[in-house]
Amino acid sequence: MFYLILESTRSALTSIFAHGLRSFLTTLGIVIGVASVIAVVSLTQGMSAFIDESFSSLGSNSLTIESYTPFSEAIRGARARLTPDDLELIERRGEGIASITPILPASRMTQIRYGAQSTFSQIMGTTYAYRDVAQAYVQSGRFIATSDNQTRRRVAVIGETIRDDLGLPSNPVNEYFEISGEWFKVIGLLETKGDFVGFDQDDIALIPYATMRSLIGNRYQPDIQIQLSLSDEANVEDVKRQLTALLRNAHDLGPGDGNDFTIRTPEQLLDTFDTIIGTVTLVVGGIVSISLLVGGIGIMNIMLVSVTERTREIGICKAIGAKRHHILAQFLIEAVLLSLLGGLIGLALGFGLGAAISSAIESFPPASIPFWAITLALGFSGFVGILFGILPAAKAANLDPIDALRYE
Amino acid sequence: MALIRLTGINRHYQMGSQLVRALDGIDVEIERNEYVAFVGSSGSGKSTFLNILGCLDRPTSGQYFLNGSHVEAMDHNELAEIRNREIGFIFQSFNLLPRANALGNVMQPLVYRRTGYRQRREMATEALRRVGLGDRMGHLPNELSGGQRQRVAIARALVTRPSIVLADEPTGNLDSHTSTEIMQLFDELHGEGQTLILVTHERDIARHCQRVIELQDGRIFRDRSMNAAEMH
């Protein structure tokens, strides 16, 4: 068996390289198919690896609680909310919490003005605890302090993007700017975090939670988000269960009612991203496998031509003692090698393409090919070779030696 | 015991509504180291006979006994094995593999009997030297003259040490000078103990042989041994 494969490979390589250009054109379908699969997979995998990394930097032991209104409720005008009372309750009764902070986002993008410059940005009211929960550290100045909240000070910590957009000096501390007509003093500049799947994490301004509440006006119970980080010994699931029970009780939910809030962990978000990327990979993979199919038909076509062309040779081989399986193996292995070769070229090309795209688009994560994609690409092209090589090979093997020898 | 014994060999084809009797009751025995020519005009059944003798085709009826085996009952793969082991083919149009060089062509039959590369190479080199092409081993068939190509084909036939060498019009595509050279080579091989069977329509070629069998309409018309005076 090994001898047969070795000898057939030897003669197959001879005949592939004897018609170099034709072999290349034959396998071009496979090359293109595999190249596009690998390009897409390497990009999405690079993306996915990047997201994993970003999440681990966020810290996996943080939870976000938000109000949640089911769609059926929302169309009736009902609106669930998470209130400062809930925050207080969790602060008092929650277990396994290291630090906790409310986040009160401005309801829409808000205009910020500095001199003649202005920009729109996301403004959030929060407390000193946000720094630990969200791992948002300042590179200059200081973070929001407890006293800022107690006295509703008009101070802000800003991200690099805002500093840049407003044309603030590179150390913007002690500068003043205007948010919706109110003057704020910049007290700190956050460390740059970069893009996170298309969101600029540096386009952010933080102000004290109490200041935000007074700015929004006299609405007594605004809808807030609560972010908390767990203490080292706490278990995420236990904490989630306990908080769920607390909030359900506080919101007077009966046993049949659904939660009017959600507790999210970074893992859940991560899972969502992974699902999306997986679906994209699958869909593109499906489309591309059609091109592999077409490539396979191309190989079959040329192999059939090649069998006809080499009819006499087949006759000679049979006359000097080739059995059916010798001829079958020779042509089958030729088809498989042809498509494997295409697979290899496609692999290199696809990886090059992925790397080129990821380096051409700034802020796009570098491409990476997982081992399974290589195995799959080569396995699939080998399979295509067998699938579409078997018919021509069988045709060759079944030729009658006398007819084949007589063939002109 | 004869090397080859054919008894009552028939080969019939159905052509439309007509039954063609290409071979019609052939009985012949050939001994080891005989040098036999089958002659006959076209349509005499020569080619059909050669195909059956060469185990490329099976008789419709009759028995074919070759070097101890009953060939008529064999399937395709067994016939391939017999062709590889017992028969060395030489064709009018040489029938070399165009993409393999002389050495590769001569090594090819050994591939089908699973000989290792190094031994294959050794045996092929020896066979090529025997036919006087020791210095042309790396050439492709289209870089060789007709006579040289036929020598490569002869080397390919000899390399497996077959019990019979079967030559179909071996000089049909060669000029008279080269033909003589090739026939001298055959004579030498016969002198070394090789069993040779030629199929030809040229009297000059047949004259080299000890025994000439004439076919006509699928039957043996005449079977005679040449005496020394008639030869050459």
pLDDT tens-place string over residues B146-161: 999 999 999 999 999 9
Domain membership of residue B137 as a residue range: 35-47+82-225
Tell whether the torsion through CA atoms of B178, B179, B181 and B182 is positive or negative.
positive
Q: Indicate whether B122 belongs to any domain.
A: yes
In angstroms, the CA B163 to CA A304 distance is 36
3-state secondary structure of B72: coil
- Judge: B91–A326 Cβ closer than 8 Å, yes or no: no
Question: Which of A40, A104, A87, A80 lies closest to A278, judged by CA?
Answer: A40
Interface mutation target, options B76, B86, B91, B111, chain A, most CBs of A under 10 Å: B111
Work out the minimum CA distance from A32 to partner chain B, whole angstroms.
Answer: 30
- Judge: B76–A7 Cβ closer than 8 Å, yes or no: no
The interface residues of chain A toward chain B in range 270-329, judged by CB-CB distance below 8 A, are 312-313, 315-324, 326
Tokens at B19, concatenated: 């039954």
| Structural domains of chain B, count | 1
In angstroms, the CA A275 to CA B47 distance is 71
In angstroms, the CA B29 to CA B198 distance is 15
pLDDT 10s per residue in chain A (408 long)? 788 888 888 888 888 888 888 888 888 888 988 888 888 888 877 777 777 776 665 555 778 888 888 777 777 777 788 888 888 888 888 888 888 888 888 867 778 888 888 888 888 899 888 888 887 888 888 999 888 888 888 999 998 888 888 888 888 889 899 888 889 999 999 888 776 656 777 888 899 988 888 887 756 677 888 888 888 777 778 888 888 888 888 888 888 788 888 888 777 777 777 788 888 878 877 877 788 888 888 888 888 998 999 899 999 999 999 999 999 999 999 999 988 999 999 989 988 888 888 887 766 677 777 788 888 888 888 888 898 999 999 999 999 998 898 887
In angstroms, the CA B29 to CA B1 distance is 10
For A46-203, list the strands marked E by DSSP: 62-67, 97-105, 110-114, 117-126, 138-141, 155-158, 176-179, 182-190, 195-196, 199-200
Task: List CB contacts (< 8 A) between A316 and chain B.
Answer: 95-97
Give the CATH number for residue B42.
3.40.50.300
**Radius of gyration of chain A measured on its C-alpha atoms:** 33
Interface mutation target, options A316, A320, A333, A400, chain B, most CBs of B under 10 Å: A320
In angstroms, the CA A292 to CA A383 distance is 10
Kindly identify which residue of chain B lies nearest to residue A314, measuring between CA atoms. Answer: B97
In angstroms, the CA B84 to CA B160 distance is 7
ipTM associated with this complex: 0.91
Q: Indicate whether B62 belongs to any domain.
A: no
Q: Indicate whether B57 belongs to any domain.
A: no
Task: List CB contacts (< 8 A) between B56 and chain A.
Answer: 318-319, 401-402, 405
The predicted-structure confidence for B79-131, as pLDDT tens digits, reads as follows 999 999 999 999 999 999 988 899 999 999 999 988 888 999 999 999 999 99
Question: Which of B219, B221, B222 lies closest to B6, judged by CA?
Answer: B219
